[in-house]
Structure 1
């Protein structure tokens, strides 16, 4: 993904359907809900490791089985490709955590 993201050209509804985009505050947000605290914490652990790897960290909070996330690149005061990348990774991690275990 190129460095300068044209938000008017990015299809948030198609590529990040569960995320809310606020073009005024320039943020992406999503509330993830899991079956319990352990699943929510496992999700946060995966996300934290990935965020460290790409050196881009979410604003988030956890309350039992919920993780509220807000993404924005503070240094650019905008949504950037790093936010999109992290949002997509978070979606994948949430799907991974919520899948029933294979027996």
Structure 2
């Protein structure tokens, strides 16, 4: 099996488009700036049944991240995992009011599907 690495270009989500894209991500916590005008990213925590399942999940996330060229910040301890998604290469001079991008939303949905598969 050969997986081609494809860097997916990100575009900032702002205003109504941002709110629309956040709607289906009900299991993710939105991180806002103090004025609640800028989305700084999204986080999700999950606990798996055992250590092996935790690392199987982390392996899937790491492979997908590598293939897409977009990597979440991952905190883990035995069966607990916390993931943070945001895009750090959005140019703040472009007028974007968000550090959340379309690739973050796409990655969050993929991570949700992995969690659903591995916790049922």
TM-score over 0.5 for the alignment? yes
Distance 1:74 1:4 in 2: 10
Residues paired across the two proteins, number: 97
Q: Tell me the TM-score normalised to structure 1 length.
A: 0.84
4+ residue runs of structure 1 moved beyond 3 angstroms?
none
- State the Cα RMSD in Å: 1.8
> Any idea what the Cα deviations from partners look like across 1:14-36, whole Å, max 9, x if unmatched?
31001001121611001111111
Distance 2:78 2:12 in 1: 37
Cα deviation for residue 8 of structure 1 reads 3.8
Q: Tell me the TM-score normalised to structure 2 length.
A: 0.73
Summarize the alignment of residues 1-103 of structure 1 with structure 2, pairs less than 5 Å apart.
3-9=11-17, 10-11=19-20, 12=22, 14-24=23-33, 26-76=40-90, 78-99=99-120
Per chain length, whose mean CA-contact separation is higher, i.e. which structure has more relative contact order (CA < 8 Å, sep 6+)? Answer: 2
**Between 17-26 and 47-56, the greater mean CA deviation after superposition:** 17-26
Partner secondary structure for residue 49 of structure 2? coil
Distance 2:47 2:15 in 1: 27
Gapped regions of structure 1 (runs ≥ 5): none
* Structure having the higher Rg: 2
Distance 1:5 1:39, change over 3 A: same
